[in-house]
Homo-oligomer: A and B are copies of this chain.
Amino acid sequence: MAVIEIRVELKKGVADPEGKNTRKTLEALGFEGIADVKSVKVFEVDMDLPADEAVKAGEEMCRKLLANPVIQNYSVTVR
């Protein structure tokens, strides 16, 4: 039994319109000192597997479904 955290984020250099618009809106609301906003997608997957197998399954999930390798990086960790 393990809970893994799968983190999918855009590769460096890939446009992040969600982050960009979030930043613009935060600045419009008066927040100062923002150098960058990056949007990240996280999936918490609760699995009936030992931790090492759950991480391997999580990496396979990214390859098969959750991440687009052209524009995204992923990482899988145990919570």
Contacts and interface: CB of A to CB of B under 8 A. Distances in A.
Interface in A5-57: 7, 19, 22, 25-26, 29, 31, 33-49, 54, 57
A61 interface: yes
Given A31-B61, A35-B48, 13 more contacts: A22-B65, A22-B66, A26-B65, A29-B65, A33-B57, A35-B46, A35-B47, A36-B44, A37-B46, A38-B46, A39-B41, A40-B42, A42-B42
Interface of A: 1, 7, 19, 22, 25-26, 29, 31, 33-49, 54, 57, 60-61, 64-66
A6 to B, nearest CB: 9
